[in-house]
A and B are shown apart, each in its own frame.
Chain A
């Protein structure tokens, strides 16, 4: 049974190299179709809604009140589709980890990489980078499609206008944030359905709840993900209280917090 012998590799490094774990996570990401489906659905939904919404805004602009016309932001209007597209990419992050729990693959993964924090952060990094790349492409495409529609009505914003490029990039960043939060929550909750519902609650239900609360609650509202996302993806500073910089900070806190919770849960729990 000579096939069993593995050629010895000289100079084997002391510990599982984090880079090796990242490479393995890239292989895992690329080798399942659901990754590509999630990205495709996110793109189609986001860009589709961008076209629908901007078309509607452009037709209604003439009949808007003067105040509404002054507050009109063609950039954030063209990025509204991200509200829906973020979910497909969030689920991508959720599935990246909950699929390992539901099949029992997590045990194989953690026997290969017993350092649970290394495992979780490598997965979050790969999901985050893929989601960021997809998010940027989707955000810029939505902006392009939206402004093409607005330009027929003389309403289009340009990437050179103040805050516009930052808002379009911010939209892509926000999508990546949602995906990473999905990974962190998945590590805590383990089940696909439970994690997805939690994520939907955070990005859809929380804003509805906050809208029902009096304005004095704004300090709380400002710490939610959707508020941070809106701050990131808006060119002008209209109704949002958060500055884009503060929005980014809130996003980073959510990323750090969810991953810390995931790492803590994985470290304490039996696999």
Chain B
């Protein structure tokens, strides 16, 4: 279990991480979601004791990272796929890491086989593709058979087959009871792998919730209502606090009221309903709604107009 309390990191005038508190529990994949520059990597480096928090703390199973004896046996991390000496073979890269923490040498070929790099184990890592580098980073994270795993943007640079492989791996690791914390700026990816989400924007916690609850709680969840008495029913709904959009064909899109309540109101007023259905927002919609204020560089309206004026869009 990872616990962050009031975690804050300041670089000069910039607050990269701002009073961040969250928990990452074992047995499920927790996604760490946020736009680029939101502070995900900084947070991960603080978890690993690489960067010192300006204030606040983060612990792994109750102890800070540096207090763990032989940390690779407790926490495995993949931060950067390019973080290898280009002249060193994959095998020796992993061997040196294993030796620091007293991990038996025989473990090295095991993890190489697990990530599918056994055939290139003796080759220099400088010639590896980004995808192979990611696999080597994952192998390093798994070396110590750790109970807690951190992955920073693990699907970057992987081909579709590799992406499917890592999704399966993350789920398997979580099913084995491990704590799995995966950062990503791709909500579509997290929708497929994560059960729980920690969402940040501009260094602040935006949501700490399950994927289902995030989608369910989105204001983009609307209820579609069709009725021959649509106009009359609109007044009833509005009087009960709902926001109603009426399309030209008379279909109502209702937000702010549960479908059950809408049904009850219809019964009370004697309204005939032809359709009462929930239209669920995607995780993408929910995420965009949450982080709208937190994206540092949003495409401005001006830019879009200029592109159209130049005829690029049409």
Complex interface: chain B residues within 8 A of A14 (CB): 69
Q: Are A103 and B83 in contact (CB under 8 A)?
A: yes
Kindly identify, within residues 217 to 234 of chain B, every residue whose CB is under 8 Å from any CB belonging to chain A.
none
Known A1-B172, A9-B104, A15-B69; judge A31-B88 contact (CB<8 A).
yes
Q: Are B84 and A105 in contact (CB under 8 A)?
A: yes
CB of A6 within 8 Å of the partner chain: yes
Please classify how large the interface on chain B is, using the bins under 10, 10 to 19, 20 to 34, 35 or more.
Answer: 35 or more
Q: Are A114 and B49 in contact (CB under 8 A)?
A: yes
A204 to chain B, nearest CB (A): 27
Q: Are A110 and B85 in contact (CB under 8 A)?
A: no
Q: Are B83 and A24 in contact (CB under 8 A)?
A: no
CB of B110 within 8 Å of the partner chain: yes
Q: When the two chains form the complex, which single residue of B73, B83, B92, B176 contacts A107, counting CB atoms closer than 8 Å?
A: B83
> Residues on A close to B: CB < 8 A?
1, 3-7, 9, 12-17, 20-21, 23-25, 27-28, 31-34, 99-100, 103-105, 107-115, 270-271
Q: When the two chains form the complex, which single residue of A3, A7, A12, A108 contacts B70, counting CB atoms closer than 8 Å?
A: A12
Q: Are A112 and B97 in contact (CB under 8 A)?
A: yes
Q: 18 A-B Cβ contacts within 8 A?
A: A3-B110, A3-B113, A6-B107, A14-B69, A15-B69, A16-B102, A23-B99, A24-B97, A27-B96, A28-B92, A31-B92, A31-B93, A31-B95, A32-B85, A99-B85, A103-B86, A107-B80, A270-B50
Measured CA separation A15–B48 after assembly (Å) = 17
Q: When the two chains form the complex, which single residue of A6, A23, A104, A111 contacts B48, counting CB atoms closer than 8 Å?
A: A111
> Residues on B close to A: CB < 8 A?
45, 48-52, 65-66, 69-73, 75, 77, 79-80, 82-89, 92-93, 95-97, 99-104, 107, 110, 113-114, 140, 142, 144-145, 172-173, 176
Q: When the two chains form the complex, which single residue of A15, A16, A104 contacts B82, counting CB atoms closer than 8 Å?
A: A104
Q: Are B50 and A271 in contact (CB under 8 A)?
A: yes
Q: Are A108 and B85 in contact (CB under 8 A)?
A: no
A263 to chain B, nearest CB (A): 15
Q: Are A12 and B69 in contact (CB under 8 A)?
A: yes
A107 to chain B, nearest CB (A): 6
Known A16-B69, A31-B96; judge A108-B51 contact (CB<8 A).
no
Q: Are B102 and A107 in contact (CB under 8 A)?
A: no
Complex interface: chain A residues within 8 A of B82 (CB): 103-104
A143 to chain B, nearest CB (A): 33
Q: Are A110 and B145 in contact (CB under 8 A)?
A: no
Complex interface: chain B residues within 8 A of A7 (CB): 104
Query: Among B86, B93, B100, B142, which residue has the most Cβ atoms of chain A within 10 A?
Result: B100
Measured CA separation A114–B102 after assembly (Å) = 15
A138 to chain B, nearest CB (A): 23
Measured CA separation A6–B84 after assembly (Å) = 24
Complex interface: chain B residues within 8 A of A111 (CB): 48-50, 65, 71-72, 75, 77
List 8 other contacts, CB 8 Å, given A21-B100, A27-B95, A111-B75: A6-B107, A9-B102, A9-B104, A14-B69, A16-B100, A31-B89, A111-B65, A270-B52
Complex interface: chain B residues within 8 A of A31 (CB): 88-89, 92-93, 95-96
For the complex of A and B, list the 3 residue pairs with the smallest distance between their C-beta atoms, beginning with the closest.
A6-B145, A31-B92, A104-B83
Chain B residue nearest to A34 (CB atoms) is B87
Query: Among A27, A28, A113, which residue has the most Cβ atoms of chain B within 10 A?
Result: A27
Q: When the two chains form the complex, which single residue of B52, B92, B96, B103 contacts A6, counting CB atoms closer than 8 Å?
A: B103
Complex interface: chain A residues within 8 A of B173 (CB): 4
Measured CA separation A99–B144 after assembly (Å) = 25
Measured CA separation A264–B299 after assembly (Å) = 44
A30 to chain B, nearest CB (A): 8
Chain B residue nearest to A21 (CB atoms) is B100
Complex interface: chain B residues within 8 A of A33 (CB): 87
Chain A residue nearest to B97 (CB atoms) is A112
Q: When the two chains form the complex, which single residue of B45, B66, B73, B89 contacts A114, counting CB atoms closer than 8 Å?
A: B66
Q: Are A20 and B101 in contact (CB under 8 A)?
A: yes
Complex interface: chain B residues within 8 A of A107 (CB): 45, 48, 50, 79-80, 83
B296 to chain A, nearest CB (A): 21
Q: Are A16 and B101 in contact (CB under 8 A)?
A: yes
A181 to chain B, nearest CB (A): 22
Q: Are B88 and A32 in contact (CB under 8 A)?
A: yes
Complex interface: chain A residues within 8 A of B145 (CB): 4-6
B113 to chain A, nearest CB (A): 7
Q: Are A24 and B100 in contact (CB under 8 A)?
A: yes
Measured CA separation A33–B88 after assembly (Å) = 8
Complex interface: chain A residues within 8 A of B66 (CB): 114-115
A28 to chain B, nearest CB (A): 5
Measured CA separation A103–B95 after assembly (Å) = 18
